Structure 1
Amino acid sequence: MTAVHESVLDAIGGTPLFRLSRLGAGLAAPVYAKAEFLGIGGSVKDRAALSMVLAAERDGLLKPGGTIVEATSGNTGIGLAIIGAQRGYRVIVGVGDKASPEKSDILRAYGAEVVLAPTVLPLEDPAHLFNVIRRLAEEIPGAWFANQYDNPANPDAHLRTTGPEIWEQTAGRVTHFVAGVGTGGTITGTAEYLKEVSGGTVTVIGADPESSTYGGGDGSPYFVESIGHFLHPATVEDRQPEAYRTDAPDAFERVPDRESLLTARRLAREEGILAGPSSGTAVAAALRVARRLGPDDLVVVLLPDSGRSYLSKVHSDAWMRQWGFLEESEGAGGLRPLLDGAGPLVAVDAYTTVGEAARALRGAPGGIAPAVQPRTARPYGVSAMEVVGSVSREVLAAALADGTAEPDDPLGALLGPALPTVGVGQSAEEARGALGAGHPGVLVLVDGRAAGVLPRSSLGDG
């Protein structure tokens, strides 16, 4: 019999499991997906949002008619907006400027006020999203800052609901649980329950973007929203969320962005499950885990949110090509042959000297290069989000020749605007269109990272 509820809040949780029969074909161990995208707000964050609000009400931190304030990649804010609508709270949600636009549209549809602010900044920067939202919470009378990253009611929601549901749905047969780590609340609370009820036999795997620091990456930007840990190179003091217990995952599977995004698209096209990119990360990790297991094992992977929030991103062929995640191109051939013939990427530290930049540019195709934020190590290359400008050999040579600049001067004053970017799967015609009249070349992206520069002369005249 179909359940009947007095309000949408009573329907939070209780999501089904689906076996991934096509993506898991040929694997001895079955893989089941916990479909959190079927929640009222479209994500696993409904659970944490309700748990945090109820705890704040109980503790007297959130009064009737008060204001809920939160910083989020979108999903927690949506959960809070739904609860605010039901319980009569004003809701102000800070969303990172790199989050999908659909999330802001959904938040506004629920009546939330949306504040956009950057997150690809040092944590100490006053303009960082978290600092903007903290100031708002301090300035607004009667405001309560939900603070999902450090709120114990976040993991407690999963200790009380998600873990028990998985154990009951699998009749205690689950042997491996796979989930992404964002605030850490989902994996921490669920892991605690499953390990305790199983006597420690359930293995918990964190699914992490390859460059995220949780799994051992360099902290450089990545393209999967809502999970992982970005670390700006200028951040003075990094910190882990208090909602995350580092002993919750027994191991990590680190998944490149392309594998995550393509797996999310496969979920829709092969399993009929329209889920977001972090679900792609989790499923890619779960399939890796399952390949190492046998028929007595059972893998449960948590799918955090709906793909409806990412129709303009991972589920858009144009967006995927634009950022270099799809190689195929409509019409004329893609840029791969030109890129392969252009020589290795030369990138220049935006904070170096004029003389050092001039030396670096000697091997740059066309004498132009992207200027990037400094980072001590770049095992995954230069993220497109770290490019802050461009450097021209011609401009530097002229400045040195006429005495406008000396070799030991900072490069900053001679930086040009960032080169336009195109994905490796786009056509030469599209690259020429991106050039316009004023740019000397384009920066070609592969998997969201700078792979090379194509000077104007290499693109032909169309």
Structure 2
Amino acid sequence: MWYNNILETIGHTPLVKLNKIVKDIPATVLAKIETTNPGNSIKDRMALKMIEDAERSGKLKPGGTIIEGTSGNTGMGLAIAAVIKGYKCIFTSTDKQSKEKFDALRAFGAEVIVCPTNVDPEDPRSYYSVSSRLEREVPNSWKPDQYDNLSNTEAHYESTGPEIWEQTEGKITHLIAGVGTGGTISGIAKYLKEKNPAIQILGIDTYGSVFKKYKETGEFDKNEVYPYITEGIGEDFLPANVNFDLIDYFEKVSDKDAALMTREIARKEGIFAGNSTGSAIAGLLQMKERFKKGDVVVVIFPDHGTRYLGKMYNDDWLRDRGFLKEEKLTARDIIRKKESREIVTIDIEKTVLEAINTIKLLNISQIPVTQAGMVIGKITESDILNALLENPSLKSHPVKDITTASFPFVDANASIDKISAMINNDNIAVLVEHDGEIAIITQYDIINAISA
């Protein structure tokens, strides 16, 4: 058997049992893996549905241009369909989305316009407003408007919902899905609740989005809106596709918890999923008291981890945002691992000969120089050798005559990377103020700490 084109492979995605990451949940937890769609996301379903409905209604004409505001996944679904059906694509998106998403859209021949995130939807610079303006300006164009186009919801009512019902043999008790445009959760919920009104529909929201408060109070609170990092869920307005009557409860998940959980899914379940999946599983764990033995919980895994390689799967990106705990050794750790923490110093008025004897006796290569108990410089074996080669009589001179600039001080929390970068041929150690005392760290101390 073969398919006539790639669009025929959309849907019929697998349902996979989760194990390690949900070990504290008494229920059976199943992941609906939407990454097996050709565009690696659940948005392929509604993208094709919106296009086909627009073709039937005459809104989308042959050779036309599809213009849409998208976080990337809907754009991918539209772009794939456009390749097969012969349309052009122009997409607007926000600067918080991952570069990988934009590169993927361009790979299918789409034009991508990046707009600022931190503006109101009504602002002419927003990706909503720019896409609407382009629709007016570009001849023979059509804007799917995934937020308010109810073909979005209908796609999941016709396909995703029935698949889940059949795959669980009607045993599903809870559905968990991130809420962005609202089409996925609302379409699935409509179908499932028609089959069994007792099924609980749990939406995942993010801090900075209006959904949870609106559901609980009926109030659209602008004060709830602020920039957030999590991709694919949450909004600062109310899309027509979000059917609040079908969603029983919203759980908010922080950017940090979503990002870290995204990585945990790959490491514990072997599933390379995207950022909104991390939000969904973090939300599931936050809501664990809702589930009991015998329940069957289905969690939507909307897209693939390759879209987030430069973000949630990048240690430096996480560290820059304070999401990843710094696990590297610090100056404090190195000092604790030193065989001897006592620092040897020499007063500036002592003689060079006394410095030589100290170096020989203690088998060290450098000594910080002090004045009135304060470190004001240093002398090293090289300093002494060079000085004596020029003038052997310097042995009887005070140390101050050959003292050079002090070793640099670093904070006790300085990372091993920073310390290593500061130690070189011209600067063979650093000083650290630790527990009210001065300590010295050499290259040998770093090696000893790493190998300990």
| Partner residue in 2 for 1:141 | 139
Q: Which moved more, 1:170-179 or 1:20-29?
A: 20-29
**Deviations 1:93-128 (CA, angstroms, capped at 9, x unpaired):** 112111100001000111111111113102222111
Instruction: Read off the aligned partner of 1:250 and give its amino acid letter.
Output: D
* Aligned mate of 2:201, from 193, 201, 204: 204
Q: 2:94 aligns with which of 96, 104, 109?
A: 96
CA contact (8 A) 1:31 1:290 kept: no
Separation of aligned partners in 2, 1:219 and 1:247: 22
Say yes or no: does 1:226 pair with 2:232: yes
CA RMSD of aligned residues (A): 2.1
User: Are 1:61 and 2:59 counterparts?
Assistant: yes
1:53 and 1:222 map into 2 onto residues whose CA distance is: 30
Tell me which amino acid in the other structure corresponds to 2:234.
G
1:113 paired residue number: 111
Q: How does 1:179-190 map to 2 (within 5 A)?
A: 179-190=177-188
Change (3 A) 1:197 1:121: same
Distance 1:229 1:57 in 2: 28
Higher fraction of helix: 2
Change (3 A) 1:30 1:330: same
- Alpha-carbon distance between aligned partners in 1 of 2:325 and 2:3, rounded to the nearest angstrom: 48
Q: Deviations over 1:256-293 (max 9, x none)?
A: 11111111111001100111111001112223344432
Contact 1:36 1:303 in 2 (8 A): yes
Q: Distance in 2 between matches of 1:124 and 1:226?
A: 20
SS in 2 for 1:215: helix
Cα-to-partner distance string for 1:271-317 (whole Å, 9 max, x where unaligned): 00111111001112223344432222110000111110000000111
Residue identity opposite 1:222 in structure 2 = Y
What's the offset of the Cα at 1:331? 5.2
TM-score by length of 2: 0.70
1:36/1:44 contact within 8 Å kept: yes
The answer for unaligned runs of 5 or more in structure 2 is 214-222, 333-412, 422-452
Give every structure 1 segment of 4 or more consecutive aligned residues whose post-TM-superposition deviation is greater than 6 Å: none
The answer on whether the counterparts of 1:29 and 1:298 sit within 8 Å (CA) in structure 2 is yes
- Measured after TM superposition, the shift of residue 426 of structure 1 is 9.1
1:10-58 deviations in Å (ceiling 9; x for gaps):
1111110111111122432011010012211011110110010000000
Structure 1 residues 131 and 428 mapped into 2: Cα distance closer, same or farther (>3 Å)? farther
- Cα distance in 2, alignment partners of residues 144 and 326 from structure 1: 43
Task: Measure, in 2, the Cα distance between the counterparts of 1:329 and 1:211.
Answer: 30
Q: 1:163 aligned to 137, 161, 182, which one?
A: 161
Q: Does 1:295 align with 2:293?
A: yes
Q: Which amino acid aligns with 1:201?
A: A
| Identity rate, percent | 46
The question of whether the paired residues in 2 share the 8 Å contact of 1:275 and 1:306 is answered with: yes
Match of 2:124 in 1: 126
* SS of residue matched to 1:269: helix
Q: Which residue of 2 aligns with 1:305?
A: 303
Equivalent residue for 1:36, pick from 17, 34, 37? 34
Please state whether the residue corresponding to 2:69 is helix, strand or coil. Answer: strand
- The TM-score, its normalising length taken from structure 1, stands at 0.69
| Pairs within 5 Å for 1:271-350 | 271-330=269-328, 332=330
User: In structure 2, do the counterparts of structure 1 residues 8 and 175 end up closer, same or farther at CA, with 3 Å as the change threshold?
Assistant: same
